Amino acid sequence: MSDAFPTPVPVPAPGAKAAKVCGILAIVFALTCAGIPVAIILGIVALVQQAKAKRLAKADPQSYAPVPATGLVTGIIGLVLPLLMLPFVGIASAIAIPALLVQRERAREVAVQANLDAARRRAEAEVLALQAKAPGQVPPQEAVIRALAADPAILALRNPVTPSAPAVQRGTSGPLGTVLVYPGQEQEGGVTIWSVKFRAVVRQGGQNRELEGEVITHTQEQVQGRTEDGWEVVNPPTPQN
């Protein structure tokens, strides 16, 4: 009686399963658009593993089962899909990126306007406080500006356009997004107007856009003389066409 040896059952060749998994993942990443570079790498890995598995199965057919074409097919699809998706990605980027840039510029402008409004409201409050403290006296512009520079709430503001620059500073020129505070004096219709002015520059559509505001500290009419009965004569308003 002779011993019977069972025929070994062929097993999948090393690399066959990896080729299938990498090919499927390559297709999934290719469809997400954002994973196109990963899809290309996985597609190449799938083809390499498929070739390795086929070579081992051909060299030892008794030990390894025939390699299915799943890894080959999915690997090829995983490499072709990114090439087909690139035009769509380019079109979507051409539409989405400018829109995102516009939204970002708009959000920054809104934030800078909020800083300017906060500084203007603080200046208005300081003018009222100086008037209440010294009734009948003119609130000094410099006192209002110094109060802004020392106010903790103003110092806590952040510049949304140029993060390294202050949100509010004294002067007539400064970085983008900084609210500039400076004294102003204008004449209109025989009236001199003293004020604290606010100005900030932001970018919109590739061009500079100015945001402005002011707080009037006091006004004064220009007196030309007095009539015989004691009435003051002021410069009449300039007619506008």
Question: What average pLDDT does the segment 134-138 reach?
Answer: 86
Q: Is the pLDDT of residue 64 over 90?
A: no
Q: Is the pLDDT of residue 33 over 60?
A: yes
pLDDT digits (tens, 9 = 90+) for 162-216: 999 999 999 999 999 999 999 999 988 778 899 999 999 998 888 899 999 999 9
Main-chain dihedrals φ then ψ at residue 143, nearest 5 degrees:
-65, -40
Query: Six-digit token pair at 78?
Result: 């995983």
Is-contact 137 175, C-beta < 8 A? no
pLDDT over 70, % of the chain:
88
Q: Is the pLDDT of residue 11 over 50?
A: yes
Q: How far is CA 128 from the centre of its chain?
A: 37
Domain boundaries, the chain: 16-98, 114-224
Is-contact 176 183, C-beta < 8 A? no
Query: Six-digit token pair at 240?
Result: 């506008």
Rounded to whole angstroms, the Cα distance separating 46 from 30 reads 14
Find the length of the chain.
Answer: 241
Q: Rounded to a whole number, what is the distance in angstroms from the first to the last CA of the chain?
A: 127
pLDDT digits (tens, 9 = 90+) for 91-125: 877 888 888 888 999 999 999 999 999 999 999 99
